[in-house]
Amino acid sequence: MAGRTRSRLQAFIRKGLLTFIAAIAVAAVACGERARLTFEPSTDGLGPNTTIDAPQTADVEVPAGPDFSINGRSADRDGVDTVYFEVLGGNQSFQPFVPSEFRDTVRFSIPISTSGRSGDTILVFVYATDLLGTRGDTAVRRLLID
């Protein structure tokens, strides 16, 4: 009788083990085909806000001679990727600035040469892109060289 109980027990264990293995296999397949939740990055959909702090007015009269500094900042909660500078009417160009680490605000200062430019008008454009590639607004200053 002990042999019969043992064989029933072994049959029960085998059946339970086979059921367990089948359940694991079904679960593995189900996990592979199940729809996964995805989350979009939180973004405001806008590019960086670029402002020029100095000079404060859009049109500025500047004496010819020494360099004139344009100072400002670009800010975006998604992070500022690159700040671009364009100068029209002068003989200067500036490389885009790329921060080496995550920053939500980047300050800048660029020297504009006014030497030998009496009577000229120089336009300065500054804009930035965020880490998602969205371009922000453009800040503009017009320098009237005396």
Q: pTM for the complete prediction?
A: 0.70
Residue scoring higher pLDDT (115 or 13): 115
Residue scoring higher pLDDT (31 or 50): 50
Residue scoring higher pLDDT (67 or 1): 67
Query: Which residue, among 53, 60, 67, has the nearest Cα to 105 in the 3D structure?
Result: 53
The string of pLDDT tens digits covering residues 76-86 is: 999 999 999 99
Q: Where are the domains of the chain?
A: 1-38, 49-145
Instruction: Report the sign of the C-alpha dihedral through residues 40, 41, 43, 45, in that order.
Output: negative
What kind of fold does domain 49-145 have according to CATH? Immunoglobulin-like (2.60.40)
DSSP string, 53-68: EES-SSEEEE-SSS-E
